[in-house]
Amino acid sequence: MDPLFDFTGKIVLVTGGSRGLGLEMVRAFAARGADLIITSRKEDACEEVAKEVRALGRRALAIGAHAGKWDEIDHMLERAYAEFGRIDIAINNAGMGPAMSSADYTEDLFDKVVGLNFKGPFRIAAKIAQRMKEGEGGVIINVSSSGAVMPLPGVVPYGAAKAALNAMSRSLAAEFAPTVRVNVLSAGPFLTDIAKAWTPEMREKSTNLLGRPGKPEEIVTAALALASPHSSYVTGAFYQADGGY
């Protein structure tokens, strides 16, 4: 095990951990010694991932919870702390951004997008950061999007919510310093489940510097680097894994 990326004994929570980028991060931390709390709306899907983690000899807890609803978040955290006693690394990864004309957004859909991409992550980060500060510290990684810092027509509420997430992260980093590190991992286009709705050209080419979307596994080193105890001088940072937007 490379000592820079040895997470043996660490407790890692990943929202949206049953598929896409979240699943890749779960697998990466488990392979490097961590125990995992895997959450998404579908507990059975989380349990399938938890079985993978246990097969590596790690502990794993699957929790079905909507990461945009505070009552479900609070219940999820109660279960997680009851099982493990602490959380060392929390990754706010769950998100959604349906594409449509801004004029066609309903109030309900707008609230759902903002809830999952900003309101929920705020609750999760604040509650966990407080527990971390009262304990031995920890790391929070908020997964954002390149759409928060560049024009993203057709998914405006998503980009706006992620921009709020970015601002929130820097403020939480200041509020809970020095023992809790809070950073943003800004992801560009990745070939996850969402890419099934893209055109064939979008799945092959991108306007970023690398000229292509990312493979899901290409998010892993960014997450590991931000979470590593050896990144102890990195907080309030905006880390881009977007192919060069």
103-138 pLDDT, tens digit per residue, is 999 999 999 999 999 999 999 999 999 999 999 999
Residue 197: per-residue pLDDT: 74
158 is catalytic: yes
SS3 131: helix
Question: How far apart, in whole angstroms, are the C-alpha atoms of residue 63 and residue 228?
Answer: 25
The Cα–Cα gap between 176 and 114 comes to 24
Q: Select from 192, 194, 187, 191 the least CA-distant residue to 223.
A: 187
- Give the chain's residues under pLDDT 50: none
Confidence (pTM): 0.96
Q: Which two tokens stand for residue 178?
A: 């020095």
Closest CA to 146 of 133, 134, 158: 158
Catalytic residue among 81, 105, 158, 233: 158
Q: Do 38 and 17 form a contact (C-beta atoms < 8 A)?
A: yes
Residue type present at position 81: Y
* pLDDT score of 123: 98
Residue 27: per-residue pLDDT: 98
pLDDT of residue 1: 82
Between vectors from CA 203 to CA 200 and to CA 205, what angle results, nearest 5°? 100
